[in-house]
A and B are shown apart, each in its own frame.
Chain A
């Protein structure tokens, strides 16, 4: 696995923050967002490039 900061062409990444319940979605475009559950994080990631509309 590569680091969360990568911007590989087509890779979506979800990092579960150690010590918390927070999931961090990292899009291949470099956008990031915290989420409370996996449904929410995938909806946000797959809305690329419209990341302002989760």
Chain B
């Protein structure tokens, strides 16, 4: 099983709304980092360890845009440069903590963990609907006590919805409908598409869209390894197709987004978001979708936490079995392995 991190990659570190005046500790790819926002609104990520005696800067305090170490007062700029040490005028040349490249877009705070010289912000995949006019998003983040690759496996094969998420998003048709899988080698994207016709409408969508009766349900996954997963979900009364001009206003659309960010080799930040273009001002629908999706995510968390324990204690060389539903997951594993080796 893949546990190695692809370091020279962008990862979602936080939602924009999480990063503010307070110092926030979060470990990304095994690196403890302290996040905060400067007076002019810039999100900052510094190594969460004072260069002096390793005291966590997240347990310290701010002096304007600077962090003053809560142990001996070493004082750091947002660049990571130390500008003050106690009791002497000379600040040692090596007194600095790493400052990580940060990009904030589409309501997400992205961080580059590897070689900063290679950080290219144009490679960050876009998810504009998370913060766009005409869309409403609910979101959350659940800690997962399992390696990130288990969540990738889980999300690339949605046939598990039928068995793990029955009564929420799972119906018999999900597991029974064949998939088409594509890998764009150059762009590094895995796509898995499942188009269900005349299917049962699961409660998750029946209650939120108000569509009654049988539906056509599209699940079009685009996974941008290693971190960003999007599921373009289309729900329409059965037989309703997009118009020849592309107009699809009779269907409901939900963009299900996950950011899969390794915390350690055996734990993961499971960021989940549901953006929708229907009932956008209906707070009751927002509450329902947030509660339902969190329940679904927690069902996955329980299952994957159990899987992690199984894998962590199994003998080397265990041979698992893959079938047709795993076509996309296998493609994702190969790309993750390639990215990790390249880092």
- Tell me, in angstroms, the Cα distance from A10 to B187 when the chains sit together: 9
Query: Considering residues A14, A17, A21, which has the most beta carbons from chain B within 10 angstroms of its beta carbon?
Result: A14
State how many angstroms separate the Cβ of A50 from the closest Cβ of chain B.
16
Known A-B contacts A1-B220, A42-B331; A37 and B182 likewise in contact (beta carbons under 8 Å): no
The 5 closest A-B pairs by CB, nearest first: A16-B178, A10-B185, A10-B186, A38-B327, A14-B181
Q: Mark B177-198, 1 if CB is under 8 A from A, else 0.
A: 0111111111100010100000
19 further A-B pairs in the complex, CB-CB below 8 A; given A10-B187, A16-B324, A46-B334: A10-B186, A11-B182, A12-B331, A13-B180, A13-B182, A14-B181, A14-B182, A15-B180, A16-B178, A16-B179, A17-B178, A18-B178, A37-B322, A38-B323, A38-B327, A38-B330, A39-B322, A42-B327, A42-B331
Show the binding face of B for A, using Cβ within 8 Å.
Answer: 178-187, 191, 193, 220, 322-324, 326-327, 330-331, 334
Interface of A is mostly: mixed
State how many angstroms separate the Cβ of A48 from the closest Cβ of chain B.
10
Query: Which of the residues A10, A15, A18, A41 comes within 8 Å of B184, measured between beta carbons?
Result: A10
State how many angstroms separate the Cβ of B192 from the closest Cβ of chain A.
9
Show the binding face of A for B, using Cβ within 8 Å.
Answer: 1, 4, 8-18, 21, 23, 37-39, 41-42, 46
Query: Which of the residues B183, B193, B323, B324 comes within 8 Å of A12, measured between beta carbons?
Result: B183
Chain A residues whose C-beta falls within 8 Å of the C-beta of B326 in the assembled complex: 38
Chain B residues whose C-beta falls within 8 Å of the C-beta of A8 in the assembled complex: 184
Chain A residues whose C-beta falls within 8 Å of the C-beta of B322 in the assembled complex: 37-39
